[in-house]
Chain A
């Protein structure tokens, strides 16, 4: 299989997770990604992001985000290094950054400067909150963006106050949008600047609840009992059983009442009440479902095509045939011969998995190679 982006060269000045997750995806799809890292500190995710979890000398998170990429260490304040980087820009198809607004300008590597060096290059950047406006200089950090975006009122119960989503969702979504923008720009000659902010990506993520808010100006209520989505009626939620948890998605309460033979549930025949009385209904369900095992309930509900599932943790997931058949784990090898396991690209192309055996680079691992290639060119 020929990968779609083979031969595309990406010069990546970004660090941490947001834009690097975009270049990871583009590397998966065949692009050649060269990280340009601070000559001493490198990408800060090597050391200060979940640093207690170490694989092959860097944080496990760094290893996950940067597999399949190369590393050039450079001091962008040093004239020789900057000249080298500008030579690389001449050959690049895409330049990526996620510095705070103004930093690339000070380095002389802003969009206009790069256009002057290489008019064909696509310049793609992620900011926290856009290039202008009162928050432009705020740190573009995941939890802060979540907190400002209104997203902390979507998860958990009303009485719990704001509840963050426990994965760096703003970073990952911004990276995903940037990858889309870059891919679209590769399809035409006119688009040279692609900009995404973490905040706008979080707003796009909430386009459904925000659109409702725009119409009626009301904040959402998450409810109290087994909350799972502020806009969805009972039974939607996770329920404790005697040996674990059962997920129930959308379904008719009247049907559930018959399947579970529950008189207290039969009270709620009117579809119109399933949202308004969701806490009440879910409490009835919670009391009932807590009396038997997850398997017991699945055996009743699954054959009736009720949307339900057992709730797994990673240990259970990794041992499950449903996971194994996906072949989602791949082993990669670093330039030093260290091996680690990580997930592969989630996209299949022409019926095949997209995998790549190359681990993440050490700081400056490809300095010599990069210089040698420039001399050949």
Chain B
């Protein structure tokens, strides 16, 4: 299958997660992504190992985020290297970077300079908190962005301190928005020939993610997120919405008619709360009733009763249980990305299917500078 971005070249000056995650998605969709990295160290993520997992000298984390890319090592402070990079820039379709504000200007690869070299380029940049204002020089880091944004008041129970998402959600959302902005700019370029500058920030992206609650808060009094005292799963949703302990594990129960829930569980005490407004206003009480009751029987017992009447509920899985399920296997979500014989990482594929097919490039993450010779020749650097 011909991929939609085939023939497009993306230069990735980005490091760590947000920018490279956008680059990964563009690579999945068919673009040729070349990481432009400083000699000797490269993308700082190469040295950022989690669980001390390494492969061929780079962290497994780096391999995960940078599969299906090439690497061009260049010292941007060296005039000869910079001249080579500028020749590359002249032939690229997209450039991404996530340096702190001001760095690309000092290097001489700011938008105006790059636009003069290549007027049709899509120049895309990531910042932490925008490029002006009191936070512009704060490190653009996921936990800090979560902490500024109010997100940490959504998870956990009502009497707990703030609870961050345990995944780098600001980075991931921001990378997603970067990819969207780039793709939209490419659509415009295809139609009208003009290039573009695309800007996103961790903070704006993590605020966008909270757009529903923020809209409630902006227009109505008393609409700051309030977590229920127990079994919280979403501060704006009433009972039964939450995860409950059972005799042998846990069950997740989403929204639905309380009368139907009372009948399915054979728990008449719930029927008193049939009114939708009470489900929210008295959710602490209802959730406590449910928690006391659901712990008496195993998960399967409750699930059978709830799924029979199509009440939205499910078991709670860990990775072992998930990956051994038939449903997971049917998704065919894993791929093996190989750098060279003996260096392969099993990781997840792109979550988008095109024309009914999963996108499964098996090209691994590049060793630092491994693309230099080929790229110099091909682009005449």
Contact = CB atoms under 8 A, between A and B. Distances in A.
A50 interface: yes
Contacts of B315: 147-148
Interface in B211-269: 211-220, 223-225, 227, 232-238, 241-243, 245, 250, 252-255
Contact of A154 (B141, B165, B330): B165
Given A180-B176, A200-B351, A238-B162, A312 B330 contact: no
B258 to A, nearest CB: 12
Given A64-B215, A193-B354, A247 B130 contact: no
B82 interface: no
Nearest to A147: B252
B297 interface: no
A211 B347 contact: yes
Interface stretch (A32-40, A260-268, A347-355, A363-371): A347-355
B186 to A, nearest CB: 6
A307 B142 CA distance: 10
A341 B37 CA distance: 42
A64 B185 contact: no
Given A48-B255, A139-B310, A204-B350, A165 B154 contact: yes
Given A151-B167, A156-B155, A350 B196 contact: yes
Given A166-B225, A208-B64, A351 B199 contact: yes
B155 A55 contact: no
Question: How would you classify the secondary structure of chain B's contact residues: helix, strand, loop or mixed?
Answer: mixed
Contact of A134 (B177, B224, B310, B330): B330
Interface in B147-188: 147-156, 161-169, 172-173, 176-177, 179-181, 183-188
A311 B316 contact: no
A149 to B, nearest CB: 7
B196 A222 contact: no
Interface stretch (B69-77, B319-327, B371-379): B319-327
B180 to A, nearest CB: 5
A350 to B, nearest CB: 5
B334 to A, nearest CB: 7
B313 interface: yes
A64 B243 CA distance: 26
Contact of B163 (A156, A185, A346): A156
Contacts of B52: 275
B353 A196 contact: yes
B188 A144 contact: no
A228 B352 contact: no
A238 B132 CA distance: 26
Contacts of B129: 322, 326
Interface of B: 1-2, 4-6, 25, 29-30, 50-53, 60-61, 63-65, 129-130, 132-135, 138-139, 141-144, 146-156, 161-169, 172-173, 176-177, 179-181, 183-188, 190, 192, 196-201, 203-205, 207-220, 223-225, 227, 232-238, 241-243, 245, 250, 252-255, 276-277, 280-281, 310, 312-320, 322-323, 325-327, 330-331, 333-334, 345-348, 350-356
